[in-house]
Structure 1
Amino acid sequence: MKKILCPSMMCADYGNLKDEIIALDKAGIDIFHCDVMDGSFVPNMTMGIMDIKTIRKYTDKLVDAHLMIENPSTKIDLFIDAGVDLIYIHPEAERYVIKTLAYIKSKGVQAGIAINPDTSIETVHEMLNLVDYVMVMTVNPGFAGQPFIDFMRDKIKRLVELKKERDFKIIIDGAMSPEKIKEMSELGADGFILGTSSLFGKDVDYTTAITQLREM
Protein backbone atom coordinates (compact mmCIF):
# COMPACT_ATOMS: atom_id res chain seq x y z
CA MET A 1 0.00 0.00 0.00
CA LYS A 2 1.39 3.37 -1.01
CA LYS A 3 1.86 5.73 1.92
CA ILE A 4 0.03 9.07 1.70
CA LEU A 5 2.73 11.63 2.53
CA CYS A 6 1.60 15.09 3.57
CA PRO A 7 4.17 17.80 4.39
CA SER A 8 3.06 20.13 7.17
CA MET A 9 3.46 23.51 5.54
CA MET A 10 3.68 25.41 8.82
CA CYS A 11 7.20 23.90 9.02
CA ALA A 12 8.23 25.20 5.59
CA ASP A 13 10.59 28.12 4.93
CA TYR A 14 8.23 31.05 4.44
CA GLY A 15 11.02 33.21 3.11
CA ASN A 16 11.10 30.91 0.08
CA LEU A 17 7.56 29.53 0.05
CA LYS A 18 7.20 29.30 -3.73
CA ASP A 19 10.44 27.33 -4.03
CA GLU A 20 9.42 25.09 -1.12
CA ILE A 21 6.09 24.27 -2.78
CA ILE A 22 7.70 23.48 -6.12
CA ALA A 23 10.42 21.33 -4.53
CA LEU A 24 7.91 19.35 -2.46
CA ASP A 25 5.68 18.87 -5.50
CA LYS A 26 8.59 17.55 -7.56
CA ALA A 27 9.61 15.28 -4.66
CA GLY A 28 6.35 13.42 -5.10
CA ILE A 29 4.36 14.33 -1.99
CA ASP A 30 0.63 13.56 -2.02
CA ILE A 31 -1.15 16.28 -0.03
CA PHE A 32 -0.01 19.72 1.10
CA HIS A 33 -1.13 19.93 4.74
CA CYS A 34 -2.12 23.37 6.02
CA ASP A 35 -2.61 23.88 9.77
CA VAL A 36 -4.94 26.77 10.51
CA MET A 37 -5.04 27.92 14.15
CA ASP A 38 -7.03 30.77 15.63
CA GLY A 39 -5.31 31.26 18.99
CA SER A 40 -8.53 30.20 20.73
CA PHE A 41 -9.20 26.52 20.05
CA VAL A 42 -5.44 26.00 20.35
CA PRO A 43 -2.94 28.41 21.97
CA ASN A 44 -1.16 29.34 18.76
CA MET A 45 -1.77 31.04 15.41
CA THR A 46 -0.44 29.82 12.09
CA MET A 47 -1.43 29.72 8.43
CA GLY A 48 -4.06 31.91 6.84
CA ILE A 49 -6.07 32.09 3.63
CA MET A 50 -3.34 33.87 1.66
CA ASP A 51 -0.82 31.15 2.52
CA ILE A 52 -3.21 28.51 1.25
CA LYS A 53 -3.91 30.48 -1.93
CA THR A 54 -0.16 30.66 -2.56
CA ILE A 55 0.19 26.90 -2.19
CA ARG A 56 -2.79 26.37 -4.49
CA LYS A 57 -1.23 28.65 -7.10
CA TYR A 58 1.95 26.59 -7.45
CA THR A 59 0.68 23.00 -7.30
CA ASP A 60 -1.96 20.73 -8.76
CA LYS A 61 -1.54 18.29 -5.87
CA LEU A 62 -4.23 18.00 -3.21
CA VAL A 63 -4.26 20.75 -0.58
CA ASP A 64 -5.92 20.23 2.79
CA ALA A 65 -6.89 22.61 5.58
CA HIS A 66 -6.74 21.35 9.17
CA LEU A 67 -9.03 23.79 10.95
CA MET A 68 -7.99 24.14 14.58
CA ILE A 69 -10.51 26.93 15.05
CA GLU A 70 -13.73 27.55 16.94
CA ASN A 71 -16.98 27.20 14.98
CA PRO A 72 -15.38 26.08 11.71
CA SER A 73 -18.74 25.98 9.92
CA THR A 74 -18.69 29.77 9.76
CA LYS A 75 -15.40 29.74 7.82
CA ILE A 76 -15.77 26.69 5.56
CA ASP A 77 -16.59 28.67 2.42
CA LEU A 78 -13.43 30.79 2.79
CA PHE A 79 -11.28 27.70 2.51
CA ILE A 80 -13.33 26.16 -0.27
CA ASP A 81 -12.99 29.42 -2.23
CA ALA A 82 -9.23 29.31 -1.59
CA GLY A 83 -9.11 26.02 -3.48
CA VAL A 84 -8.62 23.35 -0.83
CA ASP A 85 -9.52 19.76 -1.68
CA LEU A 86 -9.96 18.42 1.86
CA ILE A 87 -11.09 20.07 5.10
CA TYR A 88 -10.52 18.61 8.56
CA ILE A 89 -12.57 19.85 11.50
CA HIS A 90 -12.35 19.03 15.20
CA PRO A 91 -15.62 17.68 16.62
CA GLU A 92 -15.04 19.60 19.88
CA ALA A 93 -15.04 22.91 18.00
CA GLU A 94 -18.35 22.50 16.14
CA ARG A 95 -21.92 22.31 17.48
CA TYR A 96 -23.40 20.36 14.55
CA VAL A 97 -20.54 18.26 13.25
CA ILE A 98 -22.49 15.96 10.93
CA LYS A 99 -24.26 18.93 9.34
CA THR A 100 -20.91 20.62 8.70
CA LEU A 101 -19.33 17.47 7.26
CA ALA A 102 -22.31 17.02 4.95
CA TYR A 103 -22.02 20.64 3.83
CA ILE A 104 -18.32 20.22 3.01
CA LYS A 105 -19.09 17.16 0.88
CA SER A 106 -22.00 18.92 -0.83
CA LYS A 107 -19.47 21.45 -2.13
CA GLY A 108 -17.44 18.74 -3.81
CA VAL A 109 -14.69 18.86 -1.18
CA GLN A 110 -13.49 15.87 0.84
CA ALA A 111 -14.35 15.93 4.54
CA GLY A 112 -12.29 14.83 7.49
CA ILE A 113 -12.29 14.87 11.26
CA ALA A 114 -9.24 15.34 13.46
CA ILE A 115 -9.28 13.38 16.71
CA ASN A 116 -7.39 14.85 19.64
CA PRO A 117 -5.55 12.55 22.09
CA ASP A 118 -8.34 12.97 24.67
CA THR A 119 -11.20 12.35 22.19
CA SER A 120 -12.59 8.83 22.33
CA ILE A 121 -13.63 6.82 19.28
CA GLU A 122 -17.08 6.38 20.81
CA THR A 123 -17.81 10.11 20.58
CA VAL A 124 -17.09 10.25 16.84
CA HIS A 125 -18.44 6.85 15.77
CA GLU A 126 -21.48 8.21 13.89
CA MET A 127 -19.34 10.80 12.09
CA LEU A 128 -17.32 8.04 10.45
CA ASN A 129 -20.22 7.46 8.05
CA LEU A 130 -19.54 10.82 6.38
CA VAL A 131 -15.78 11.28 6.43
CA ASP A 132 -13.20 10.59 3.75
CA TYR A 133 -10.28 10.96 6.17
CA VAL A 134 -9.74 10.54 9.90
CA MET A 135 -6.65 12.27 11.25
CA VAL A 136 -5.40 10.92 14.56
CA MET A 137 -3.49 13.45 16.61
CA THR A 138 -0.68 11.63 18.39
CA VAL A 139 0.38 14.88 20.08
CA ASN A 140 -1.72 17.67 21.55
CA PRO A 141 -2.66 20.07 18.74
CA GLY A 142 -1.12 23.50 18.42
CA PHE A 143 2.66 23.16 18.38
CA ALA A 144 5.31 21.25 16.42
CA GLY A 145 8.05 19.24 18.11
CA GLN A 146 6.03 17.40 20.79
CA PRO A 147 6.72 13.77 21.73
CA PHE A 148 4.53 10.93 20.46
CA ILE A 149 1.83 9.84 22.94
CA ASP A 150 2.32 6.08 23.20
CA PHE A 151 -1.22 4.99 24.03
CA MET A 152 -2.54 6.46 20.76
CA ARG A 153 -1.61 3.11 19.21
CA ASP A 154 -4.79 1.60 20.67
CA LYS A 155 -6.92 4.28 19.02
CA ILE A 156 -5.23 3.70 15.68
CA LYS A 157 -5.80 -0.06 15.93
CA ARG A 158 -9.49 0.52 16.67
CA LEU A 159 -9.86 2.82 13.65
CA VAL A 160 -8.12 0.29 11.41
CA GLU A 161 -10.82 -2.21 12.37
CA LEU A 162 -13.61 0.32 11.81
CA LYS A 163 -12.40 1.36 8.37
CA LYS A 164 -13.03 -2.19 7.17
CA GLU A 165 -16.73 -1.34 7.45
CA ARG A 166 -16.50 2.21 6.08
CA ASP A 167 -14.65 4.04 3.35
CA PHE A 168 -12.17 6.38 5.03
CA LYS A 169 -8.40 6.74 5.24
CA ILE A 170 -6.40 7.08 8.46
CA ILE A 171 -3.80 9.85 8.63
CA ILE A 172 -1.44 10.21 11.60
CA ASP A 173 -0.32 13.66 12.76
CA GLY A 174 2.33 14.21 15.41
CA ALA A 175 5.98 13.27 15.95
CA MET A 176 6.09 11.15 12.80
CA SER A 177 9.73 10.14 12.64
CA PRO A 178 10.74 7.63 9.95
CA GLU A 179 10.66 4.87 12.58
CA LYS A 180 7.15 5.86 13.72
CA ILE A 181 5.94 6.06 10.12
CA LYS A 182 7.14 2.50 9.54
CA GLU A 183 5.47 1.29 12.73
CA MET A 184 2.15 3.08 12.12
CA SER A 185 2.08 1.91 8.52
CA GLU A 186 2.44 -1.67 9.72
CA LEU A 187 -0.49 -1.08 12.10
CA GLY A 188 -2.63 -0.10 9.12
CA ALA A 189 -2.44 3.69 8.91
CA ASP A 190 -2.73 5.07 5.38
CA GLY A 191 -0.84 8.34 5.59
CA PHE A 192 1.28 10.69 7.64
CA ILE A 193 1.76 14.38 8.31
CA LEU A 194 5.45 15.14 7.82
CA GLY A 195 7.04 17.80 9.99
CA THR A 196 10.39 18.36 11.62
CA SER A 197 10.64 14.73 12.76
CA SER A 198 10.94 13.35 9.23
CA LEU A 199 11.16 16.01 6.51
CA PHE A 200 11.86 19.65 7.31
CA GLY A 201 15.24 20.87 8.54
CA LYS A 202 17.05 17.69 7.58
CA ASP A 203 20.37 17.24 5.79
CA VAL A 204 18.80 15.56 2.75
CA ASP A 205 16.77 17.11 -0.04
CA TYR A 206 13.02 16.60 -0.20
CA THR A 207 13.16 14.11 -3.08
CA THR A 208 15.60 11.88 -1.22
CA ALA A 209 13.63 12.15 2.02
CA ILE A 210 10.29 11.30 0.37
CA THR A 211 11.84 8.38 -1.52
CA GLN A 212 13.32 6.99 1.68
CA LEU A 213 10.01 7.28 3.55
CA ARG A 214 8.14 5.49 0.77
CA GLU A 215 10.61 2.64 0.77
CA MET A 216 10.39 1.99 4.52
Structure 2
Amino acid sequence: MVEKLLCPSMMCANYASLEKEIKNLEEAGIDIFHLDIMDGSFVPNFGMGLQDVEYITKNARVPVDVHLMVESPGRYVEKFANLGASIIYIHPEADVHPARTLQMIRDCGAHPAIAINPGTSFETVKNLLYLCDYVMLMSVNPGFAGQKYLDFITPKFKAFVDEAKNYGGYDVMIDGACSPEKIAMLSKIGVKGFILGTSALFGKGRPYKDIIEDLRKL
Protein backbone atom coordinates (compact mmCIF):
# COMPACT_ATOMS: atom_id res chain seq x y z
CA MET A 1 0.00 0.00 0.00
CA VAL A 2 1.34 3.44 -0.96
CA GLU A 3 1.02 6.74 0.89
CA LYS A 4 -2.12 8.55 -0.23
CA LEU A 5 -2.44 11.90 -1.97
CA LEU A 6 -5.75 13.38 -0.83
CA CYS A 7 -6.99 16.06 -3.20
CA PRO A 8 -10.22 18.00 -2.55
CA SER A 9 -12.22 18.87 -5.64
CA MET A 10 -12.81 22.57 -5.17
CA MET A 11 -15.82 22.52 -7.47
CA CYS A 12 -17.61 21.08 -4.40
CA ALA A 13 -16.34 23.70 -1.93
CA ASN A 14 -18.41 26.41 -0.27
CA TYR A 15 -17.77 29.54 -2.33
CA ALA A 16 -19.51 31.77 0.20
CA SER A 17 -16.41 31.37 2.37
CA LEU A 18 -13.69 30.21 0.00
CA GLU A 19 -10.81 31.67 2.00
CA LYS A 20 -11.97 29.75 5.07
CA GLU A 21 -12.44 26.57 3.02
CA ILE A 22 -8.86 26.74 1.76
CA LYS A 23 -7.53 27.33 5.28
CA ASN A 24 -9.59 24.55 6.85
CA LEU A 25 -8.66 22.03 4.16
CA GLU A 26 -4.96 22.82 4.47
CA GLU A 27 -5.11 22.55 8.24
CA ALA A 28 -6.84 19.20 7.79
CA GLY A 29 -3.74 17.97 5.94
CA ILE A 30 -4.82 17.73 2.30
CA ASP A 31 -2.09 17.34 -0.31
CA ILE A 32 -3.28 18.97 -3.56
CA PHE A 33 -6.18 21.24 -4.50
CA HIS A 34 -8.00 19.90 -7.57
CA LEU A 35 -9.61 22.45 -9.92
CA ASP A 36 -12.00 21.43 -12.71
CA ILE A 37 -12.04 23.56 -15.87
CA MET A 38 -14.85 22.86 -18.37
CA ASP A 39 -15.72 24.58 -21.63
CA GLY A 40 -19.26 23.35 -22.32
CA SER A 41 -17.97 21.60 -25.44
CA PHE A 42 -15.72 18.68 -24.49
CA VAL A 43 -18.12 18.11 -21.59
CA PRO A 44 -21.70 19.47 -21.40
CA ASN A 45 -21.04 21.67 -18.39
CA PHE A 46 -19.05 24.72 -17.29
CA GLY A 47 -16.59 24.53 -14.40
CA MET A 48 -14.48 26.94 -12.45
CA GLY A 49 -13.49 30.32 -13.84
CA LEU A 50 -10.05 31.87 -14.22
CA GLN A 51 -10.70 34.13 -11.23
CA ASP A 52 -11.36 31.06 -9.08
CA VAL A 53 -8.12 29.44 -10.21
CA GLU A 54 -6.15 32.62 -9.60
CA TYR A 55 -7.62 33.10 -6.12
CA ILE A 56 -6.94 29.53 -5.02
CA THR A 57 -3.41 29.35 -6.43
CA LYS A 58 -2.50 32.68 -4.79
CA ASN A 59 -3.84 31.66 -1.39
CA ALA A 60 -2.91 27.96 -1.32
CA ARG A 61 0.15 26.70 0.51
CA VAL A 62 -0.01 23.26 -1.10
CA PRO A 63 0.18 22.40 -4.82
CA VAL A 64 -2.78 23.07 -7.09
CA ASP A 65 -3.73 20.98 -10.12
CA VAL A 66 -6.06 21.89 -12.98
CA HIS A 67 -8.11 19.31 -14.86
CA LEU A 68 -8.70 20.69 -18.34
CA MET A 69 -11.96 19.19 -19.65
CA VAL A 70 -11.70 21.38 -22.72
CA GLU A 71 -11.19 21.11 -26.46
CA SER A 72 -7.64 21.82 -27.67
CA PRO A 73 -6.13 22.15 -24.19
CA GLY A 74 -2.75 23.16 -25.59
CA ARG A 75 -4.17 26.64 -26.17
CA TYR A 76 -4.51 27.15 -22.40
CA VAL A 77 -1.45 25.47 -20.92
CA GLU A 78 0.66 28.62 -20.61
CA LYS A 79 -2.22 30.56 -19.07
CA PHE A 80 -2.82 28.03 -16.28
CA ALA A 81 0.87 27.49 -15.66
CA ASN A 82 1.28 31.25 -15.27
CA LEU A 83 -1.62 31.29 -12.81
CA GLY A 84 0.33 28.87 -10.64
CA ALA A 85 -0.93 25.39 -11.49
CA SER A 86 1.61 22.77 -10.40
CA ILE A 87 -0.03 19.88 -12.30
CA ILE A 88 -2.01 20.16 -15.54
CA TYR A 89 -4.24 17.30 -16.70
CA ILE A 90 -5.39 17.07 -20.30
CA HIS A 91 -7.70 14.60 -22.01
CA PRO A 92 -5.83 13.03 -24.96
CA GLU A 93 -9.11 12.70 -26.87
CA ALA A 94 -9.49 16.49 -26.85
CA ASP A 95 -6.07 17.26 -28.37
CA VAL A 96 -4.82 16.71 -31.91
CA HIS A 97 -1.22 16.56 -30.66
CA PRO A 98 -1.33 15.44 -27.00
CA ALA A 99 2.37 14.55 -26.88
CA ARG A 100 3.30 18.08 -27.89
CA THR A 101 0.92 19.53 -25.29
CA LEU A 102 2.36 17.35 -22.51
CA GLN A 103 5.85 18.54 -23.39
CA MET A 104 4.58 22.12 -23.39
CA ILE A 105 3.28 21.62 -19.84
CA ARG A 106 6.71 20.47 -18.67
CA ASP A 107 8.42 23.32 -20.51
CA CYS A 108 6.14 25.74 -18.61
CA GLY A 109 7.40 24.32 -15.31
CA ALA A 110 4.36 22.21 -14.39
CA HIS A 111 3.90 18.45 -14.10
CA PRO A 112 2.32 16.94 -17.25
CA ALA A 113 -0.62 14.64 -16.65
CA ILE A 114 -3.45 12.94 -18.51
CA ALA A 115 -7.03 12.12 -17.56
CA ILE A 116 -8.41 8.84 -18.88
CA ASN A 117 -12.11 8.65 -19.75
CA PRO A 118 -14.08 5.49 -18.87
CA GLY A 119 -14.14 4.43 -22.53
CA THR A 120 -10.42 5.00 -23.14
CA SER A 121 -8.14 1.97 -22.88
CA PHE A 122 -4.56 1.58 -21.69
CA GLU A 123 -3.50 0.61 -25.21
CA THR A 124 -4.87 3.87 -26.60
CA VAL A 125 -2.68 6.10 -24.42
CA LYS A 126 0.35 3.96 -23.57
CA ASN A 127 2.76 5.90 -25.79
CA LEU A 128 1.89 9.10 -23.91
CA LEU A 129 2.71 7.61 -20.51
CA TYR A 130 6.45 8.24 -20.92
CA LEU A 131 5.62 11.96 -20.82
CA CYS A 132 3.35 11.88 -17.74
CA ASP A 133 4.02 12.40 -14.05
CA TYR A 134 0.39 11.66 -13.15
CA VAL A 135 -2.33 9.54 -14.77
CA MET A 136 -5.86 10.15 -13.51
CA LEU A 137 -8.48 7.54 -14.33
CA MET A 138 -12.06 8.77 -14.51
CA SER A 139 -14.42 6.35 -12.77
CA VAL A 140 -17.39 8.40 -14.00
CA ASN A 141 -17.99 10.17 -17.28
CA PRO A 142 -16.42 13.63 -16.94
CA GLY A 143 -18.38 16.81 -16.46
CA PHE A 144 -20.63 16.44 -13.42
CA ALA A 145 -20.25 15.81 -9.69
CA GLY A 146 -22.36 13.28 -7.83
CA GLN A 147 -22.31 10.41 -10.35
CA LYS A 148 -22.12 6.70 -9.52
CA TYR A 149 -18.84 4.77 -9.74
CA LEU A 150 -18.53 2.67 -12.91
CA ASP A 151 -17.50 -0.80 -11.72
CA PHE A 152 -16.04 -1.88 -15.06
CA ILE A 153 -13.23 0.65 -14.54
CA THR A 154 -11.71 -1.20 -11.55
CA PRO A 155 -9.53 -3.64 -13.56
CA LYS A 156 -8.14 -0.69 -15.53
CA PHE A 157 -6.70 0.81 -12.33
CA LYS A 158 -4.66 -2.34 -11.78
CA ALA A 159 -3.41 -2.29 -15.37
CA PHE A 160 -2.16 1.29 -15.09
CA VAL A 161 -0.59 0.65 -11.67
CA ASP A 162 1.16 -2.51 -12.86
CA GLU A 163 2.56 -0.82 -15.97
CA ALA A 164 3.78 2.38 -14.28
CA LYS A 165 7.30 1.01 -13.73
CA ASN A 166 7.64 0.43 -17.47
CA TYR A 167 6.76 4.01 -18.41
CA GLY A 168 8.79 6.16 -16.04
CA GLY A 169 6.89 5.66 -12.80
CA TYR A 170 3.86 7.95 -13.06
CA ASP A 171 1.44 8.16 -10.10
CA VAL A 172 -2.08 6.76 -10.63
CA MET A 173 -5.02 8.86 -9.44
CA ILE A 174 -8.81 8.41 -9.34
CA ASP A 175 -11.43 11.04 -10.07
CA GLY A 176 -15.15 10.35 -9.70
CA ALA A 177 -17.41 8.84 -7.01
CA CYS A 178 -14.36 8.38 -4.80
CA SER A 179 -15.96 7.03 -1.61
CA PRO A 180 -14.10 5.77 1.48
CA GLU A 181 -14.83 2.22 0.34
CA LYS A 182 -13.25 2.86 -3.05
CA ILE A 183 -10.25 4.58 -1.42
CA ALA A 184 -9.68 1.51 0.77
CA MET A 185 -9.97 -0.86 -2.18
CA LEU A 186 -7.87 1.08 -4.69
CA SER A 187 -5.08 2.10 -2.31
CA LYS A 188 -4.43 -1.58 -1.70
CA ILE A 189 -3.66 -2.15 -5.40
CA GLY A 190 -1.35 0.87 -5.62
CA VAL A 191 -3.51 3.83 -6.60
CA LYS A 192 -1.84 6.85 -5.00
CA GLY A 193 -4.10 9.87 -5.45
CA PHE A 194 -7.77 10.41 -4.67
CA ILE A 195 -9.89 13.33 -5.85
CA LEU A 196 -12.30 13.98 -3.00
CA GLY A 197 -15.77 15.34 -3.69
CA THR A 198 -19.18 14.76 -2.15
CA SER A 199 -18.65 10.98 -1.86
CA ALA A 200 -15.91 11.29 0.77
CA LEU A 201 -15.31 14.86 1.95
CA PHE A 202 -17.75 17.69 1.26
CA GLY A 203 -21.19 18.08 2.81
CA LYS A 204 -20.64 15.50 5.54
CA GLY A 205 -21.29 17.76 8.53
CA ARG A 206 -17.96 16.79 10.10
CA PRO A 207 -14.70 18.75 10.42
CA TYR A 208 -12.43 18.23 7.42
CA LYS A 209 -9.59 17.31 9.76
CA ASP A 210 -11.52 14.36 11.17
CA ILE A 211 -12.51 13.12 7.72
CA ILE A 212 -8.97 13.39 6.32
CA GLU A 213 -7.55 11.54 9.33
CA ASP A 214 -10.05 8.72 8.79
CA LEU A 215 -9.28 8.50 5.07
CA ARG A 216 -5.54 8.25 5.75
CA LYS A 217 -6.19 5.19 7.89
CA LEU A 218 -8.00 3.26 5.15
Aligned positions of 1:74-93 closer than 5 A: 74-93=75-94
Opposite residue 95 of structure 1, the aligned amino acid is V
**What letter corresponds to residue 107 of structure 2 in structure 1?**
S
1:206 to 180, 205, 208: 208
Instruction: Check the 8 A contact 1:49/1:78 in 2, yes or no.
Output: no
Q: What is the number of residues matched between the two proteins? A: 216
* Unaligned stretches of 5+ residues in structure 1: none
**Does 2:22 correspond to 1:4?**
no
Stretch moving more, 49-58 or 116-125:
49-58
State the Cα distance separating 1:77 from its structure 2 match: 1.1
Tell me, in whole angstroms, the C-alpha distance in 1 between the residues paired with 2:53 and 2:27: 18
Pick aligned residue for 1:183 from 170, 185, 189: 185
Which letter maps to 2:55? T
Aligned to 1:71: 72
Matches within 5 A, 1:24-63: 24-63=25-64
3-state SS of paired residue (1:198): coil
Q: Deviations over 1:102-146 (max 9, x none)?
A: 111111110100000001111100000000000000000000111
Displacement over 2 Å in runs of 4+: none
**Does the Cα contact within 8 Å between 2:58 and 2:84 map onto a contact in 1?**
no
The CA RMSD measured in Å over matched residues stands at: 0.7
Contact 1:134-1:169 within 8 A present in 2 as well: yes
- The equivalent residue for 1:196 is 198
Q: Is the contact between residue 63 and residue 85 of structure 1 (CA under 8 Å) also seen in structure 2? A: yes
Deviations 1:146-203 (A, max 9, x none): 1100011111111011112222000001111101100011121011000000000002
Q: Secondary structure at the match of 1:46?
A: coil
Matches of 1:114 and 1:193, distance apart in 2: 12
CA deviation profile, 1:61-110 (whole Å, cap 9, x unmatched)? 00000000000101111101111100000001000000000111111110
Partner residue, 1:161: 162
Q: Tell me, in whole angstroms, the C-alpha distance in 2 between the residues paired with 1:80 and 1:57.
A: 12
**In structure 1, how many angstroms separate the alpha carbons of the residues matched to 2:118 and 2:137?**
8
Q: Give the Cα separation in 2 of the matches to 1:106 and 1:11.
A: 31
Q: Which residue of 1 aligns with 2:140?
A: 139
Unaligned 5+ runs, structure 2: none
TM-score (norm 2): 0.97
Shift of 1:49: 1.3
The one-letter code matched in structure 2 to 1:37 is M
Measured after TM superposition, the shift of residue 57 of structure 1 is 1.8
> How much identity, in percent, do the aligned residues show?
52
Give, in whole Å, the separation in 2 of the partners of 1:107 and 1:37.
21
